[in-house]
Structures are given as structure tokens and as C-alpha cells.
Amino acid sequence: MEKVIIVESPSKSHTIGEILKSFPDSYTVLSSKGHVSDLATTGKDGLGIDIANNFRPSYVIMPEKKKLVDDLKKACKGKMVYLATDPDREGEAIAYHLASILGLSFDENNRIEFNEITKDGVNQGIATPHKIDMKMVHSQETRRMIDRILGFKLSNLMRKKLQSRSAGRVQSVALLLICNLEKEILSFIPITYYMMEADFGTFKLTLQEINGKKINDNNRILDRKILEDLKASLKAFKVSNIQTKTVSRSSYPTFTTSTMEQTASNRLGFPAAKTMSIAQKLYEGKKIGDEVVGLITYMRTDSTRLATSFVQQVKDFIVKKYGPKYVGAGTKIKNQKGMQDGHEGIRPTSILRTPESVKAYLSDEEYKLYNLIYNRTLASLMSNASFSQTKIDFENTNSLWSTTGRVMLFDGFLKIEEKEEDDKNSLIPEFVIGEEYNPFDVQILEKMTQPKSRYTEASIIKDMEELGIGRPSTYAQTIDTLKKSNYIKIEKKSIIPTEQGVITTDKLQEYFKDLINVKYTANMELDLDKIASGEMDELEELNEFYNHFIPLYDNAKNNMDSLYPIETDEICPNCGNKLVIRLGRFGEFTACSNYPSCKYIKQEEKEDSNKSVDTGILCPICKSHNLFKRVASRGKNKGNIFYSCEDFRKCKATYNDMPTNELCPNCNSMMLKDKDGNLYCSNNCLNKDDEIKEENVLCPVCNKGTLIKRTASRGKNKGNVFFGCSNFPKCKTIISIEDYNKLLNK
């Protein structure tokens, strides 16, 4: 009987087809080009899931795949069909849908897996067929249905209320991490502290202790005078202790998906999505000389395990090329919570296929990534590097100082891996205990504590993996979705949340914090793993999720305020309806409220940079830059003057009236001057001439908070004064000035 093998990728089918030409049996290799079926968009809420009937899914063939499916049916009729989709849950689900469509038996051993696209890998896969793993299918199906329910409903809600593009189980938690870090950075208050160095020309000493107290991050010197007094009392520096020891550094384990994406980002500057795209090509196969072969193993994995046969091949290679002393102890396996260990770590399919030998057949980017993978794998099985490290302590006037030198004794794995800063030799003179030295100079160094660094693609992937958010196949896709949704932007590799990203996160946390959080998302991943291993029933997980989610969703649907559109006083020149401010991909724009019947959009003129004028007044928020006078270039306030921080991308200080150098006598905040010359507090204290007295008036609704004077910051009432409850957001009471005066007079 003729045999057919179906894989996902056309390039993968080509590589396997070339390999199978040397096999005795005749095979036809076809491609499904990924998924052929998906959940329908019919039924209640367009979910394609009959929730009342035990979450029964309704699958349909994707419209763009109908012809391909017909071709597969014709090609497979009367033949023995093997399903060789990717060796993971997603691949198992694709195999399941293909089997359903092609009428294949689920009781036959018609599922094969290729961990590597080489002759040995293909031969091993064909020799060990098995049944489709329905537990893995149920796990993927559960994930898909939860993502469909949560994604569809939350995304629709966010679009209606905030005009945000999407929300999701994993992406919204990743965005939460980014926004929380940004808020922490913006609220960071730097602290000035002091250090001391003594320069001797050939070496430098750093102050370590003073009066018996160690100087470290928990015990910084904040008073400069302490060091000034010490400096004035210093004498000759006397060597008090010499400590030399041998230290070693071991190589990193072979790559997982996460560590490959991180390292490619840091060393090659590749975004995660680009790294995965290149790795896919290296896995599926390249034409190398006269053969077509996969260069790396499957690139979606959370394991660092390596096949025993491959480890031995590498050890033989190391002995032959570098000598026996460069052979390491063995595979470094890094265990991590939630690790599936379904596949080996990412490695070259043959250690004999060196980067130099295949460079001519690869693009520049393919070569760089392959070289990275090859060297990391080889280094992971090489011996440790060793160093002689010497620390010299000096005493001087109740203080302890030190310097450190480091010399490499044996390079080990560093013979091929990129050296880090600490791996370089740092030479110091030879010293004798009791010797005294006089410095050329002693300096007091002024330092400032620094906020945490913003996320990069590498660091957010690292945190997602460590926290158990998502899986190897989702990291790159998650970041890409956040970019496309205009929730984040990348500047000099740093991830910065956009205003829309922050607004979306804040609203999701207001209404869905019990669901959109690290713990819940990580636990769900563990539950999906349990479904895949047969330890948990998928219906139990679906019911638990749904019963948790729907009450939160209904509450948000009924109570969440809509952010856009914002009404203006302008009239549409085409139809006479009011113009409104909407939010688009590139920010706010003014358009007709009668859309889509009227598609008028007001043409905004570009902001003239010459209209920005330095006021010379220090920003009271960041206290690092001055406030600038600017002219609004869009929206209902277009043409109006406002004042904002010079560093407006980071500092959001904005004022409609003129800042002054005067301070409020009540709260010491900056005073503003309105167009009539009246002064008032920027912190919403009372105007100097305001007759309204702000007293401890009890909120008439909750009877817990007190009424506080506020100024509307957005919408058609922006700039208007009102009184709100101090118990906000639990109590959302709003009182006008008139009603506030009535309460005072009672």
C-alpha cells in the first residue's frame, strides 16, 4: 500500500521528501500548511462553543484551506496515512483535526513525530508510530476554548469601552508586568549616597568598611561629611590581608526556546518573533551541498536535556579538536517549575556540521543564529573555566579598603563561548602584608540610586518563563500581539507601555484582577499540563474558569465607563452632526459622530515645534526638567495653549494655565495663574480668593469618606471643578459646587 506522510510546513515536507528518497518504501510527503480547522464563529456570542452542552466545540474547515483539504482527501484516498505534525500540543491538535477530516482511525498507530529532520530522525519517527494522544488534544482544546471565550468577550468589551484592540489570558498578564514596572520606575525617588576611592596609579582601592560597619546596598553612606572627616584623617594605607583562591565558572545549559530568544535578543539584536522564524527554517531543513537536512532540533522546548548518543558524539568531537581536558562532566539539566520536558534542548542535529561548513548555504541571519546555537550546545558539554582570584585588604584610620585581581588559569568552555566582563584578566601588583602605600589621590564619589531597568524582549520573556506565564510557543507571539495592539513600543530595545496600554491594564485590573494576574494564569498553565498527563478532567477546568469569569464580565459590561468617543462643540461640515474625538492607531483624531454613515475626518495640522517655549520653571513632578509652553495640535482643544514637562514622554505633568514660581500656602504645591490673572493651587486646593471653604464634609452617599475638591482631567467637562468622595473608587459620588455649598449650609 502506498504511504502518505502529512506535515505542517511545505519546506519541511520538501526536506523529508528528499530524505525519504533513500528509503526502501515509497512515500509521498504532503503539507497541511498549519491548522486546517478552527472553532466556528457561530452560535451564542459567536464563540463556536455550546457551553450549555458541556462546552461542546464546533469546528469548521478554514475558508482558505478548503481547496487544500480537498486536495489532501484525493491524495490520501486508499493509502496508508501518517500524521507527522509538530511534536507538541498544537501539532497533536492539528493531527487530530486532519484525522477527523480524512476519516482516519483513532485506534491505529498513524501518528509519528520528528524531533529532528535528519535521516536518523525521520527513520526513528517512522519506526515508532503511535496513536494520537487524545489527552494532549483535550489539553490544547481546553486552552483554545478558554482563550476563545476570554479573548472574544474581553476584546469586544475593551473595543466598545476603551477602543482598545484586544485582551487575552496571557497577553494581558504580560502587559500588566510591563505597566507595573513602568509605574514603579516613574514613582522612583532617587537617593544620593557617597563612596570613596583611593588611586595608586597601578591599582585602586574602594572603601568597604568604616568604624566596623560594612558599606553595601543596605548600609549606604548618605552624609558626605562622614567621608570628608575620614579623608582628612587618612594616613598611609597598610596591607592587612591577602586572600588567593581558585574559582571556576561553568557554561550555560543548551538553549531552551526562552533562553534562545533572550540570547538572540541580547547578542544579535533579533526580536523574539524573528528568532523563532529563523529557527523554524533551520529546523525544517536547508540544502547543504548535495543534501537537504534539518540543522537544529525542534525549537519549541523548555528542556535542556540532550540525547545520550548526541552527548557522546560531542565528547568525541571535543577530544579530537581541543583535547581531553576540555571535556565537561555531562549535560546540564535545569529543572524549572512547570517544565514539560517533552523534547530535547535546542541543538545542532550533528556536531560535525560546524557553522563554518554551512555558512555558504545560509543567509547572514541564519548563520548568526545557527552559530549561536552550535556554540552554546558545544560549550554546555565542555569543562569549566578556572581563575586565580586575589583579594587584598588595606587598613587606614578605622576603615577597611580592598582591591581584587583575577587571572584566567584555564579557558575551558570560554575557548568558544563569548567572554563576559568578569572573565577578562584584571591584573594587580604583588603585595606583602604590612607594606604601606600612599595614594596619588583620594576621591569622594557622589552616586544616586537608580530605578529598575525597563523590560527588554529578553527580560520580559525571562520573567514570563520564570513566573509560568505562557509556554515556549507563545512568548514571541505574545510580544508581537502587544506591539500590533499599540499597547507597547520599543525604544532602544526597551519596552515602554503606551498610554492605551496603561489605560487598558488599569481597567482590566479594576474589573478582572482576580483573573488577569500572574498566579491565576500560571496555575491555569499547570492545570493544562495536568489535563495533558491525564491527572485532570478538561470539563472541570472549563467549568471552573467559566463560573469565575462570567460574573466579572457581566459586572464590567454593566459598570465600566466608556472612554471614547469624546463629544466636542464642533459641527461636521458634511452632515451637520457633532464631531467627536476618537482613538485610532496613531492616537486621538476628530471625526463625525455619524460614522459610518458619514466618514468625515478632520485634517489635523502638524504641531509646530517652534511653538514650544521654555518657561524656565522647574517641573514640580519629576523635578528634573523645565515646563514648556505648547500649543495643542489636535482634538477639541486644538490651538489652545497648555504647559507640560520638557520630558513629556516620561513625565505626564500637564497644566492648562500658566505655572508660576509661587507656592501654595496650604500644601506647598505650585500655584497656577488663569487667563484673568487669578492664582490657584495646582494640587486642587482652594483658590486664594475662593469663597468656598473646604471642610470635613461627610459623603452623603457612603457616609464614610469626606468630600474633596477635584478638577476633571478628561472628557467634555475637562477643567471643571467638582467634589468627590475620598473613598474613591469604592464610592464614586460626585457633587457640584452648588450642591456642596448646600451641604455646608445645612
244-257 pLDDT, tens per residue?
999 999 999 999 99
> What share of the chain has pLDDT > 70, as a percent?
90
Domain check: are 262 and 374 in the same one?
Answer: yes
Of residues 667 and 582, more confidence is placed in 582
387 pLDDT band, cuts 50/70/90, is very high
> What share of the chain has pLDDT > 90, as a percent?
61
Does 19 fall in a domain? Answer: yes
Domain check: are 393 and 354 in the same one?
Answer: no
565: preceding bond cis by omega (within 30 degrees): yes
**pTM for this one?**
0.72
Of residues 22 and 745, more confidence is placed in 22
Does 657 fall in a domain? Answer: no
pLDDT of 607 above 50: no
672 pLDDT band, cuts 50/70/90, is confident
Does 355 fall in a domain? Answer: yes
Does 593 fall in a domain? Answer: no
Q: Tell me the CATH number at 518.
A: 1.10.460.10
What is the reported pLDDT for 678?
67
- DSSP secondary structure letters along 349-364: S-TTS-HHHHGGGS-H
Does 68 fall in a domain? Answer: yes
The residues facing 38 across adjacent strands are: 60
Of residues 511 and 662, more confidence is placed in 511
CB contact at 8 A, 327 and 248: no
Q: In what order do the strands lie in the sheet with 658-663?
A: 658-663, 670-673, 679-681
Cα→Cα distances 623→389, 619, 627, 651, 670, Å: 44, 5, 10, 10, 12
Grid coordinates 467549568 are at which residue? 543
Range 269-290 average pLDDT: 92
Lowest mean pLDDT among 73-87, 92-106, 419-433, 544-558: 419-433
Strands 494-497 and 488-491 come out as antiparallel
539 pLDDT band, cuts 50/70/90, is very high
What is the reported pLDDT for 71?
94
Range 684-708 average pLDDT: 62
d(CA 299, CA 223): 54
Grouping H, G, I as helix, E, B as strand and the rest as coil, residue 246 is: strand
Looking at residue 175, what DSSP letter applies? Answer: H
Count how many domains the chain has: 5
| Residue from 298, 326, 370, 455 carrying the catalytic annotation | 298
Domain check: are 375 and 264 in the same one?
Answer: yes
Q: Tell me which amino acid residue 222 is.
A: L
d(CA 454, CA 520): 24
Lowest mean pLDDT among 243-252, 420-429, 714-723: 714-723
pLDDT of 655 above 70: yes
Domain check: are 40 and 157 in the same one?
Answer: no
Range of the domain at 362: 257-380
3-state secondary structure 135-192: HHHHHHHHHHHHHHHHHHHHHHHHHHHHCCCCCCCCHHHHHHHHHHHHHHHHCCCCCE
Domain final position from 88, 107, 132: 132
CB contact at 8 A, 254 and 346: yes
pLDDT of 732 above 80: no
- DSSP secondary structure letters along 355-403: HHHHGGGS-HHHHHHHHHHHHHHHHHTBPPEEEEEEEEEEE-SSEEEEE
What is the reported pLDDT for 270?
92
Helix (H) or strand (E) holding 589: strand 587-592
Domain check: are 82 and 179 in the same one?
Answer: no
Lowest mean pLDDT among 179-193, 340-354, 558-572: 340-354
Grid coordinates 529578553 are at which residue? 458
Q: How would you label 427-460 residue by residue, b for 16+ Cβ within 10 Å and e otherwise?
A: ebeebeeeeebebeebebeeeeeeeeebbbbbbb
Domain check: are 225 and 207 in the same one?
Answer: yes
Looking at residue 421, what DSSP letter applies? Answer: G
Most confident of 7-16, 167-176, 325-334: 167-176
| Short-list 82, 138, 127, CA closest to 108 | 82
Domain check: are 518 and 398 in the same one?
Answer: no
Domain check: are 431 and 478 in the same one?
Answer: no
What is the reported pLDDT for 663?
72
Mean pLDDT (the chain, rounded): 87
Domain check: are 470 and 551 in the same one?
Answer: yes
Would you mind telling me the total number of residues written for the chain in this entry?
A: 746
d(CA 352, CA 357): 9
Does 30 fall in a domain? Answer: yes
487 part of the active site: no
Domain final position from 380, 412, 435: 380
CB contact at 8 A, 222 and 194: yes
Q: What are phi and psi of 29, to 5 degrees?
A: -110, 120
d(CA 111, CA 282): 23
Domain check: are 437 and 290 in the same one?
Answer: no
Grid coordinates 556540521 are at which residue? 353
Does 658 fall in a domain? Answer: no
Domain final position from 95, 110, 132: 132
Domain check: are 502 and 547 in the same one?
Answer: yes
689 pLDDT band, cuts 50/70/90, is very low
Domain check: are 12 and 105 in the same one?
Answer: yes
Does 271 fall in a domain? Answer: yes
